[in-house]
Structure 1
Amino acid sequence: MADLARARAFIHGAARLIDRRWFAALFDGDDPGLLLKALSGYQNGDGGFGHGLEPDTRTPRSQPLNVEVALQYMADIGAADSTMAKAACDFLHQASAPTGGVPILLPGFEADAHAPHWRGYARPPELVPNGGIVGLLYRLGVEHPWRDATAEHVWRWIEDEGLGAHDILDATLFLESVPDRPRAQAAAARLAAALPQSQWFKADPATPGYGVTPLWFAPTPGSFCRPWFEDALIERHLDHLAALQQPDGGWPISWEPPGPAATLEWRGVQTVKALRTLKAYGRL
């Protein structure tokens, strides 16, 4: 069983303000609006988000990746700031490629510290982050022309063969909230069958190193993807997750961030995520 008191001490002592507010909203009943105020500090004048909101990219410049992260914070506490979100959509519209959609990172992020896995990164618009962003906008009830136009591209990308676990994860954020439910359920069934063989999927919690686990897809028992996984598999991953708590009360990360500050920031994020999931499954 994880130790909530030690985790709380870690959050208060090492996590960013936004993640302390996130923890307080989920575990202490604090006003979710306080998290939104903390989130606004990462928003730029162009409507996008920067300043290391996703800790592996330290650029102050707005990035589509950070927009997805910002919307995830809103969705997780069930509180949307429509003005903030619509401004982010305006940024996405300006940053979109002529063919539609945004790349996960725009050129220029390399000028600031970034994690090794982002070095030399240059990709066209694809399922990540567009699927996640559009899905989260539907979930939050935020309407915008960019959302509706990009949804058509997301449907096409979901039909691509050989999607990795990260792609499937963003696809599920889209499929759980998009209005066309019959089409979404059919696509979800196909992706559920493809997930076990996808790149980066980590079915065995004991496998060392980085991987996308079933708990990423089903962080709560009521998650859209929870029926994809057998109960025994979820229980093994919950056992492993609880056992990962460190002596300082926080949870570790399994990849190389750009520096010590990013390491602590990520550990704060991972700690709140771990606690949220363990609580949801009755493990706290």
Structure 2
Amino acid sequence: MDIFNAGRDFVRREGRLVESRLFAAVFEEADAGGVVDALRGYQNADGGFGHGLEPDKRCPDSLALDVQVAFETLLTAGARDDEMVRRAVDWLDSIATPDGAVPLCGPVIEGYPRAEHMTEWTYEPGLNPTAGLVGQLHRFGFEHPWRDKAGAWCAAELAKGFPEDAHGMHVAMEFLEHTDDVDLDKVRDWLPKLNWYRADAADPEYGVTPLHLAPTPDSFWRGLFDDSQLEAHLDRLVADQQSDGGWTLTWEPPGTSSTLAYRGIVTIAALRTLKAYGRL
């Protein structure tokens, strides 16, 4: 099976419009403005994003998790729309704690289909997603009072210690790479202590892998991993492509549509990583 063409055909056949436009922008030199246009349908009047842009919940209301996905989609496409971003950050500021922290989701998701893991833990303001959102705004080079306030809160929280789960650590690392407070050895030593960190490429369970933390050879955190470890995970990524061309999931979204949507997201991510590491 031709890895790239099979993955492309899967996204074209099963992916949402937003992933189809993203694929075209990333791999086919299409105008990145098409990605912005596709994202407009997910942005609410209040400036936030919803409508299941992150497919593990089908809630139309604005949620910080959907803002995070919207920002990542823009950054991946190399797209820029300052008004779209400003409205979203203004919304984040409106729901934040006085210190700037925001929650992934809220109780509003309970009225809609959602994955089993989308429960009360997502209602608490925390480093996940606050640190990731601040890091994304730094990648945009987008200044905003909320970014500075939330960034100061993230720095204070991380001074107390690193998160205990791999998702929280992932977004903390997105924030840390835009600061002057990076200790690679300290981060490297902490990774094996994390819940849901999958260091072993042979481990079939759900988790965050070194390729999530260093998806390209020029990633800020590439130096945390040796070549043999990354090669093993790249081998696993190749092996995990399914006969339909897409990559599968290790968790259960709330329905068939959500599953296909998420498979489109992870398929594009897999192809980008394999291309970056010279595996296509």
Cα deviations across residues 222-272 of structure 1 (Å, max 9, x unaligned)?
001110001000000000000111111111000011111111001101100
Question: Distance in 2 between the 1:211 and 1:79 partners?
Answer: 29
1:98 and 2:71 matched: no
Three-state SS of the structure 2 residue aligned to 1:125 is coil
Q: Tell me, yes or no, if the aligned pair for 1:162 and 1:198 is still in contact at 8 Å.
A: no
- Paired residue for 2:60? 60
Alignment-mate amino acid for residue 23 of structure 2: F
Question: Distance in 2 between the 1:122 and 1:74 partners?
Answer: 24
Three-state SS of the structure 2 residue aligned to 1:85 is helix
* Structure 1: 5+ residue stretches without partners: none
Q: Tell me, yes or no, if the aligned pair for 2:99 and 2:149 is still in contact at 8 Å.
A: no
1:15 and 2:15 matched: yes
Q: Tell me, yes or no, if the aligned pair for 1:102 and 1:130 is still in contact at 8 Å.
A: yes
- Paired residue for 1:230? 226
Cα deviations across residues 197-237 of structure 1 (Å, max 9, x unaligned)?
21110011211220100000010000011100010000000
Relative to structure 1, the CA distance from residue 152 to residue 30 in structure 2 (aligned partners, 3 Å threshold; closer, same or farther) is same
Question: Distance in 2 between the 1:64 and 1:120 partners?
Answer: 15
Question: Distance in 2 between the 1:27 and 1:99 partners?
Answer: 40
Cα deviations across residues 38-85 of structure 1 (Å, max 9, x unaligned)?
011100000000000000011000001111111111111222211111
Q: TM-score, normalised by structure 2?
A: 0.96
Kindly state the Cα deviation for residue 189 of structure 1 after the two structures are TM-superposed. Answer: 4.0
Q: Tell me, yes or no, if the aligned pair for 2:100 and 2:146 is still in contact at 8 Å.
A: no
Alignment-mate amino acid for residue 97 of structure 1: T
- Paired residue for 2:171? 170
Alignment-mate amino acid for residue 147 of structure 1: R
- Paired residue for 1:151? 151
Alignment-mate amino acid for residue 6 of structure 1: A
Three-state SS of the structure 2 residue aligned to 1:256 is coil
Q: Tell me, yes or no, if the aligned pair for 2:68 and 2:133 is still in contact at 8 Å.
A: yes
Q: Tell me, yes or no, if the aligned pair for 1:64 and 1:106 is still in contact at 8 Å.
A: no
Q: Tell me, yes or no, if the aligned pair for 2:213 and 2:221 is still in contact at 8 Å.
A: yes
1:140 and 2:140 matched: yes
Question: Distance in 2 between the 1:174 and 1:203 partners?
Answer: 22
- Which of 195, 198, 211 is the equivalent residue of 1:199? 195
Question: Distance in 2 between the 1:43 and 1:189 partners?
Answer: 40
Question: Distance in 2 between the 1:119 and 1:126 partners?
Answer: 15
* Structure 2: 5+ residue stretches without partners: none
- Percent same amino acid at aligned positions? 46
Q: Tell me, yes or no, if the aligned pair for 2:32 and 2:77 is still in contact at 8 Å.
A: yes
Three-state SS of the structure 1 residue aligned to 2:272 is helix
Alignment-mate amino acid for residue 204 of structure 2: P
Kindly state the Cα deviation for residue 122 of structure 1 after the two structures are TM-superposed. Answer: 5.0
Q: Tell me, yes or no, if the aligned pair for 1:2 and 1:242 is still in contact at 8 Å.
A: no
Count, aligned residues: 279
Kindly state the Cα deviation for residue 190 of structure 1 after the two structures are TM-superposed. Answer: 2.2
Superposition map of 1:230-269 within 5 A: 230-269=226-265
Q: Tell me, yes or no, if the aligned pair for 2:106 and 2:123 is still in contact at 8 Å.
A: no
- Which of 260, 267, 271 is the equivalent residue of 1:271? 267
Question: Distance in 2 between the 1:278 and 1:223 partners?
Answer: 14
